[in-house]
Structure 1
Amino acid sequence: MEDKQERYKEKYNIKEFSQKIPGIQETIRKLKDDNSFENQWNSLIHYDIISENDEDRKQANTYFFQFQNNQYQDKMSRSIACFVGLAIGDSIGNITDGFKLSYERKDLQGFDSENYQKDLRLPLGMISDDTSLALCLADSFLENKLNIQKNQKFFNVQDFRHRILLWWYEGYNNGKWGYFKQFFGKKSEIAQNLPELKENVRGFWNADSFGVGITIWNSGINFVRRPFSEFCEEKMGNQNANGSLMRLAPVPILLRDQMELCLDVSYKQSLATHNGLQAAECCQVMSYLIIKLINCEIQLENNKDVQELLDQIFEQMSKDIEIQDEGVLCLIKSQQQLNFEKDEHNQVLEDVNWNWKSKVFQYSPTRTKRHEGTSIGAYCMDSLCMALHIIYQSENFEQCILKAVNLGGDADTLGAITGQIAGALFGICEKMKLWYEQIMKWEEQKVLIRAYKLFNKNKQ
């Protein structure tokens, strides 16, 4: 804790961005204070921008859980499924996250797989950073006045970065609150049992929200030092990691009818934490795809339909999007990249093979070996290509999720990326509803209500 305090000695004179949550000045002050266990109960872990009595909660719940398989998958169902799919992929992926890469593993079939009940790093169904940061992005859109006609004022990047900092340090939008409510009751009851809690869950509880990666960590430090900067200026960490893809769903859901603006915001929200061109352009590719899927009127019946639809979308994408990075261009065309500079990550042609339509597509051999298979997929190009490969070879949402999480490696984020695209592609289904019920007790339908509000905010 002393090392952390040393980073924030300088005082900043900063205005507050919100009346409902601590302003940046107060946040930085708290970062300099002693982070005792008791003080955490005054954190934002139990805070929600949406009231428990909000009338949209019932409507969102009714729409989602009463949706029938034979119903037409419209824009709303695909939008909601996109966000819910993110949370499902993240949550199930947590079970095998960090496992050694395996292309043969198939036994993880959801939350009730007996072989994976031991040594879990999180309780079954709990969300991690992938979903939490998507919630922060959604909240930033919902809490700020949006002017779709003025691109430069539409997205408040400082507000979004502030919310990430509040998640990182104060538990804002963190799944842990569900854990404490589930086992120890309401906040007032928890406060009465602090001694017992301190003994039983200290190892689980810590100052930081679960899942914070080195790139997000450094972007938070950068924001505290330069709070009026819109984009991350840090070079530490993997600046082309997949952290800006895993949280992307709120952007194409809200801006499904404004493609140009959506691509712009997708790019900017990536630069808020990841100072890398490939990550930003991968976000544009993913948002373009999700928008096309949300607005799709085709009802899919088999894998052939899936492949034909994706072929059409990516062919048009190659004409519509201006991309600078050669690797991302090859990804759009599902091609082998021929020109590359050798470094510690790329040694052979197979390391820059972005032909995700191939039935035998696999991760980079060099990066797999370098990371011993346990964190493979953390690179934005790897995770997006693998997600597309999985979806291209599948015919329903369940298949997509299970193929992604059984791979291991960076399974939660691969699951979140796959879940967003597959959700927008296939819409709401029975398996999605069953899986989301396992998550709800931890995140209290935060994902569902935000997906519903984001969709309807654009209609206002």
Structure 2
Amino acid sequence: MDKIKDRFIGAMFGLIIGNTLGAPYKNIEFDEIKDFAKGGIYNLNTGEWTDSASMALCLAESLIENGFDLNSQIKYYLRWIDEGYLSSKNKAFGIDNQTMEALIYFEKNNKFVDITDKDSNKPLARLAPVPLYFKNSFTDAVYYSGQSAYTTHNNIYTIHSCKLIGGVIQQAIHGENKKFLIEEVHKHMDLIYDVKLKIVDIPYKTKNEIKSSSSALDSLEIALWSLYNTDNFKDAVLTAVNFGGDTDTIGAIIGQIAGAYYGFDNIPKLWTLKIVKRDKIMEIIEKLYEVSKK
């Protein structure tokens, strides 16, 4: 397989793998995550994903059908809520309050939510389809990655965190090395200070200096630190989710980055085989690749 396509598939499927791996452990105490499991707060079967993966698949379908269009994106998210569309079960589940409020607000007022001071990791976890769609334009990948947050989370830290991760994914797809992704790529973006500070400190931080939370800033730090301090997809994802807390969301964030960097072939085959509805996932990924900007 062509290396760019392998990384392209890796980014999207990696998001779903990471989300699925972390899902049963979300917000509960555990000793160590080593493999897929069942149970958790959503009573999952092995291989079932949560909201981040569902919204990423909805975002991918929106891009396939309508290009980058925020109104189209939020309508796909509403279809997921209303019908369970592209859920791993027969209904939507796992949605956070802020996202639900934004979707209800749009349905009532036909406009997006106003600026909020709440910094959230949710738009980062569904992000991969955007830099994949704009895979051959770093500028567009960065800009539209930030724009994609507006449907549900109009927050400057969240938007700029999406810009950073979008740029990292786009460059990873094209084979840039880890040193460049962590130490150089942010220099080519217009980012707020708080986001830049998170990435420039990664080479110098120990695990004990990093905390897990549902904020965009903390979650991007966990994901990029885990990428920097491991040398394969499996270890990167396991390192990130073992920080605990919002494990399904953090898993999706690291999964898309590590997948873009290492490629689909580096994802453990036993993991890919355990994912439910994987044929549908691959169909969407193939379509997204076909329409991605040349």
User: TM-score when scaled to structure 1?
Assistant: 0.60
- Where 2:261 maps in the other structure, the secondary structure is helix
Match of 1:39 in 2: none
Q: Does 1:232 align with 2:79?
A: no
- Where 2:209 maps in the other structure, the secondary structure is coil
Match of 2:100 in 1: 217
Match of 1:331 in 2: 198
Q: Does 1:253 align with 2:138?
A: no
Contact 1:93-1:412 within 8 A present in 2 as well: yes
Taking the aligned partners of 2:199 and 2:248, their CA distance within structure 1 comes to 24
Q: Structure 2 counterpart of 1:453, which letter?
A: K
Question: Which entry has the higher C-alpha Rg, 1 or 2?
Answer: 1
Q: Give 1:428 deviation, angstroms.
A: 2.0
Match of 1:86 in 2: 15
Q: Does 1:128 align with 2:50?
A: yes
- Report percent identity of matched pairs: 30
Match of 1:451 in 2: 285
Q: Structure 2 counterpart of 1:390, which letter?
A: S
Taking the aligned partners of 1:294 and 1:361, their CA distance within structure 2 comes to 30
Taking the aligned partners of 1:283 and 1:363, their CA distance within structure 2 comes to 19
Q: Structure 1 counterpart of 2:77, which letter?
A: I
Match of 1:170 in 2: 83
Q: Deviations over 1:209-265 (max 9, x none)?
A: 1111011111111101221x2x32274xx7321110000010111111112122221
Q: Structure 1 counterpart of 2:147, which letter?
A: K
Taking the aligned partners of 2:241 and 2:183, their CA distance within structure 1 comes to 28
Match of 1:201 in 2: none
- Where 1:445 maps in the other structure, the secondary structure is helix
Q: Give 1:294 deviation, angstroms.
A: 0.4
Q: Structure 1 residues 118 and 244, CA, compared in 2 at 3 Å: closer, same or farther?
A: closer
Q: Deviations over 1:59-99 (max 9, x none)?
A: xxxx6xxxxxxxxx710000100111100111110121112
Taking the aligned partners of 1:221 and 1:82, their CA distance within structure 2 comes to 30
Q: Would you tell me which structure has more helix in proportion to its own residues?
A: 2
Q: Does 1:419 align with 2:255?
A: yes
Q: Deviations over 1:101-140 (max 9, x none)?
A: x7xx43x32126xxx6688621111111010000111011
Match of 2:184 in 1: 316
Match of 1:382 in 2: 218
Q: Structure 1 residues 84 and 127, CA, compared in 2 at 3 Å: closer, same or farther?
A: same
Q: Structure 1 residues 430 and 385, CA, compared in 2 at 3 Å: closer, same or farther?
A: closer
Q: Structure 1 counterpart of 2:163, which letter?
A: Q
Contact 2:14-2:264 within 8 A present in 1 as well: no
Runs (5+) with no aligned partner, structure 2: none
Taking the aligned partners of 1:377 and 1:272, their CA distance within structure 2 comes to 22
- Where 1:395 maps in the other structure, the secondary structure is coil
- Where 1:429 maps in the other structure, the secondary structure is helix
Contact 1:285-1:332 within 8 A present in 2 as well: no
Q: Does 1:434 align with 2:270?
A: yes
Q: Does 1:395 align with 2:231?
A: yes
Q: Structure 1 residues 459 and 330, CA, compared in 2 at 3 Å: closer, same or farther?
A: closer
Taking the aligned partners of 1:399 and 1:444, their CA distance within structure 2 comes to 22
Q: Give 1:450 deviation, angstroms.
A: 1.8
Q: Deviations over 1:135-188 (max 9, x none)?
A: 1110111111x4xxxxxxxx21111111111111221111113xxxxxxxxxxx
Contact 2:161-2:220 within 8 A present in 1 as well: yes
Q: Structure 2 counterpart of 1:332, which letter?
A: I
Q: Does 1:266 align with 2:135?
A: no
Q: Structure 2 counterpart of 1:109, which letter?
A: K
- Where 1:176 maps in the other structure, the secondary structure is coil
Q: Structure 1 counterpart of 2:21, which letter?
A: I
Taking the aligned partners of 1:459 and 1:271, their CA distance within structure 2 comes to 22
Contact 1:140-1:163 within 8 A present in 2 as well: yes
Taking the aligned partners of 1:459 and 1:161, their CA distance within structure 2 comes to 22
- Where 1:90 maps in the other structure, the secondary structure is helix
Contact 2:183-2:200 within 8 A present in 1 as well: yes
Q: Structure 1 residues 272 and 394, CA, compared in 2 at 3 Å: closer, same or farther?
A: same
Contact 2:20-2:248 within 8 A present in 1 as well: yes
Q: Give 1:444 deviation, angstroms.
A: 4.3
Q: Structure 1 counterpart of 2:65, which letter?
A: E
User: TM-score when scaled to structure 2?
Assistant: 0.92
Taking the aligned partners of 1:118 and 1:291, their CA distance within structure 2 comes to 33
Q: Structure 2 counterpart of 1:232, which letter?
A: V
Q: Give 1:395 deviation, angstroms.
A: 0.9
Q: Give 1:433 deviation, angstroms.
A: 2.6
Q: Deviations over 1:12-31 (max 9, x none)?
A: xxxxxxxxxxxxxxxxxxxx
Between the two proteins, the alignment pairs up a number of residues equal to 294
2:210 equivalent among 341, 346, 363: 363
Q: Does 1:157 align with 2:70?
A: yes
- Where 1:211 maps in the other structure, the secondary structure is coil
Taking the aligned partners of 2:260 and 2:26, their CA distance within structure 1 comes to 24
Q: Deviations over 1:319-347 (max 9, x none)?
A: 31111x3211212322xxxxxxxxxxxxx
Contact 2:135-2:170 within 8 A present in 1 as well: yes
- Where 1:455 maps in the other structure, the secondary structure is helix
Taking the aligned partners of 2:71 and 2:42, their CA distance within structure 1 comes to 35
Contact 1:361-1:389 within 8 A present in 2 as well: no
